[in-house]
Amino acid sequence: MDMVLGIDVGGTSIKAGLFTPEGELLEERKIPTPALVSEAAYATVTGGIARILAAHDAVPEDVIACGLDIPGPVADDGTVGFLPNIQLDPEGLVSAVSSVFPRATVAFVNDANAAALGEMWAGVATEVSSYVLIALGTGVGGGVVANGKLVAGAFGAGGEIGHITVNREEPLTCGCGRHGCLEQYASAKGIVRLYLDECARRGVTPVEVEHATDTLSVFRALAGGDECARIAVQQMCDYLAQAMAQISCVVDPAMYLIGGGVAGAFATFAPELRERFSAYALPTCKDVRIEAASLGNRAAMYGCAYEALRLRGESVG
């Protein structure tokens, strides 16, 4: 019985999903791990997965593909770039996984790129060959799929939509060291900042925000008629629509999928986003579909499993 693994590698834990080759998720389990740089840590991961397999009457030899999604750049050829946010030795992890699951094709995929691929396997993009996923979360990530293939890029920066420049006048510095990136306005942090800035500009007291990424309070204020929240969300949509209009000139996708935590409020801001996009876009592509992503925080787990399965298909012929 063939099985596929999708392993979501985070800072303090990994989430492992066991799939059928058809894309049915059989089980997912969180495995707390120390830094993934030692044999003991690898054994914690592979041991945890072996137990999931056993619960489904499967053995390690049944695993034909194993995808690992990581928060960092992965180039078209699978090379892993610099990982600022997690401790991980890619080569060590691959050799540990390969020795426990001897039949498995192993693949690393950037997490936002993986989320895009997941939508093709089991989400809303199963019928679409060219689309772009934009994940609005703590940061802004993205994944570009063109003609059914992920565009990871020569340096692994394919889909770094969050760092498209949308405001050359921005004095604040982005995490990438540049200024005026989309992420500074359309991430959860960006939306909260736009709201607080608008309140300060008007000299009104903002609603209480619990933390720097508390968009829930901003959208709740918007629902309650808060004018500053309305302006903040308009600005967010404006910057996002500008970036999407540029992307369309390069990739011309059939569909945009909006994912990440902020997409919980998609129904609220979608009309504004669609309107601004069609105002900015090249007329040829102004009627593109703009929808919410469907797999939530499981998308990347699905997508890396799918990519490993596809790689296997290519190597088998």
- Where along the sequence are the contacts to Zn ion (CB under 5 A)? 163, 174, 176, 178, 181
Q: How far is the CB of 84 from Zn ion (least distance, A)?
A: 13
Q: How far is the CB of 189 from Zn ion (least distance, A)?
A: 12
In the sheet that holds 25-32, the strands lie side by side as: 25-32, 13-19, 3-9, 63-70, 105-110
**Cβ-based nearer residue to Zn ion, 36 or 140:** 140
Taking the C-alpha atoms of residue 9 and residue 17, their distance in angstroms, rounded to an integer, is: 11
Q: How far is the CB of 174 from Zn ion (least distance, A)?
A: 3
**Cβ-based nearer residue to Zn ion, 65 or 181:** 181
**Cβ-based nearer residue to Zn ion, 118 or 139:** 139
**Cβ-based nearer residue to Zn ion, 163 or 193:** 163
**Cβ-based nearer residue to Zn ion, 111 or 307:** 111
Tokens of 103: 């039949």
- Report how far apart, in Å, the C-alpha atoms of 299 and of each of 16, 72, 116, 141, 212 are: 12, 16, 7, 13, 25
Tokens of 32: 């707390």
Main-chain dihedrals φ then ψ at residue 281, nearest 5 degrees: -75, 155
Q: How far is the CB of 243 from Zn ion (least distance, A)?
A: 12
**Cβ-based nearer residue to Zn ion, 17 or 143:** 143
Q: How far is the CB of 214 from Zn ion (least distance, A)?
A: 22
Which residue shows structure tokens 């969050």? 162
Q: Minimal CA–CA distance to 245: which of 256, 261, 234?
A: 256
Number of other CB atoms surrounding residue 184 within 10 Å:
27
Measured over the CA atoms of residue 52, residue 56, residue 57 and residue 60, the dihedral's sign is: negative
**Cβ-based nearer residue to Zn ion, 9 or 140:** 140
Taking the C-alpha atoms of residue 29 and residue 297, their distance in angstroms, rounded to an integer, is: 13
Tokens of 53: 């397999």
- Report how far apart, in Å, the C-alpha atoms of 178 and of each of 122, 182, 212 are: 36, 11, 21
Q: How far is the CB of 157 from Zn ion (least distance, A)?
A: 11
Q: How far is the CB of 188 from Zn ion (least distance, A)?
A: 15
**Cβ-based nearer residue to Zn ion, 74 or 243:** 243
Q: How far is the CB of 211 from Zn ion (least distance, A)?
A: 21
Taking the C-alpha atoms of residue 154 and residue 156, their distance in angstroms, rounded to an integer, is: 6
Number of other CB atoms surrounding residue 85 within 10 Å:
10
Taking the C-alpha atoms of residue 149 and residue 147, their distance in angstroms, rounded to an integer, is: 6
